[in-house]
Amino acid sequence: MQDFALHRPTSAAAAVETCRGCDEGRYLAGGQSLIPMMKLDLALPSDLVSLAGIAELSGIRREGETLTIGAAETHAAVAESAEVAGAIPALAGLAARIGDAQVRNRGTLGGSIAHADPAADYPAALLALGAAIVTDRREIEAESFFAGPYETALEAGELIRAARFPIPEAAAYAKFPQPASKFALVGVFLARTAEGVRVAVTGAATTVFRADAIEQALERSFEASALDGLEIPPDGLTDNLDASAEYRAHLIGAMTRRALTAI
Ligand SMILES: Cc1cc2nc3c(=O)[nH]c(=O)nc-3n(C[C@H](O)[C@H](O)[C@H](O)COP(=O)(O)OP(=O)(O)OC[C@H]3O[C@@H](n4cnc5c(N)ncnc54)[C@H](O)[C@@H]3O)c2cc1C
């Protein structure tokens, strides 16, 4: 691991300013993705800007029909939050099944969103719920946030402050986990709102995506039988040692059915 300088700002503005002044500055949240990458020399930051002491990045609050979760909230905090359980129980359940206890106690919502692992769980929730990512300089719709594997719409030094979730009428998440890491081989998040049904799939391709054909089928009838006869083609899906593209296509259908039974 390359040497680096560690900074501990106490405000979001100071964190952004500190990062701006660094050669290769990176924010450090829970370190559950960044530290392993640094150990493998896949990330070589000159400076780490810790977010641990910035109170304004924390907090979970419901205002009307919107749930806002601070970037620094850990997966465990989201899983255990009465506010989240009351507004979007599927999101609390998703957080409760991320990784293991250590990952959930250290890893954060903001870190997961910024890291944009193609098999991460939160991106499916953000996309299906039509969430917005609030940064130090703008709000980015989830629809235009995830650009590819480990690629997002964030600019250099842009800091995620929070994610803002519209509260749906109903939602559910079903994941078929990779047994060792618990990352999604395939995860399907379903959300039904007054505007319609949205279905987002993670783990199956190079980035999270909406499953248009499933959405259209569920718009006609919001029950598992709507999927009868629906072919999910394996084209473009990830094909690797963990699972073939054909198996992932099968899992998309199976996880959608499982999510529907949970609603
Ligand atoms: C063994 C293991 C199992 C896991 N299993 C799962 C799983 O089942 N499902 C799942 O979804 N994830 C899983 N993860 C990943 C986990 O969710 C991480 O917590 C997450 O990917 C990164 O969050 P972090 O807070 O640790 O971020 P860090 O590792 O600190 O940072 C990750 C990246 O995000 C950037 N960043 C962090 N915070 C911000 C911010 N506020 N604004 C802008 N950029 C920021 C950092 O600079 C870095 O580039 C697993 C990880 C491990 C080690």
Would you kindly state where each structural domain of the chain is located, as residue ranges?
5-50, 58-262
Average pLDDT over residues 225-241: 95
pLDDT at 168: 98
Residue 49: closest CA among 33, 30, 27: 27
Decide yes or no: CATH 3.40.1280.10 for domain 5-50: no
Q: Are strands 47-50 and 5-7 parallel, antiparallel or unpaired?
A: parallel
Measure 48 CA to ligand 1 centroid, in angstroms. 15
CA–centroid distance, residue 150 to ligand 1 (Å):
11
Q: Are 248 and 256 in contact (CB under 8 A)?
A: no
pLDDT bracket for residue 247 (50, 70, 90):
very high
* All residues at 6 or more sequence positions from 110 whose CB lies less than 8 Å from its CB, including other chains: 29, 51, 57, 70, 71, 72, 160, 161, 162, 163
User: pLDDT tens for residues 32-71?
Assistant: 999 999 999 999 999 999 999 999 999 999 999 999 999 9
Using DSSP's 3-state secondary structure scheme, residue 35 falls into: helix
263 — pLDDT class (breaks 50, 70, 90): confident
Q: What residues are in contact with ligand 1 under a 6 Å CB criterion?
A: 26-34, 51, 71, 98-99, 103, 106-108, 110-112, 114-115, 117, 120-122, 159-160, 181-183
Number of other CB atoms surrounding residue 190 within 10 Å: 29
Question: Is the predicted pLDDT of residue 22 greater than 90, yes or no?
Answer: yes
Domains 5-50 and 58-262 share a fold: no
| Dihedral sign (CA 59, 49, 121, 77) | negative
User: 27 falls in which pLDDT band (50, 70, 90)?
Assistant: very high
Which residue owns the Cα nearest ligand 1 atom 47? 27
Q: Which structure tokens are listed for 150?
A: 């480990």
Nearest protein CA to atom 37 of ligand 1, as residue: 111
134: left (phi over 0), alpha (psi -120 to 50) or beta: beta
Q: Average of pLDDT values for 96-124?
A: 98
Scan for tokens 């002491």, then name that residue: 53
Query: Taking 90 as the threshold, does the pLDDT of residue 208 lie above it?
Result: yes
**What CATH class has 58-262?**
alpha beta
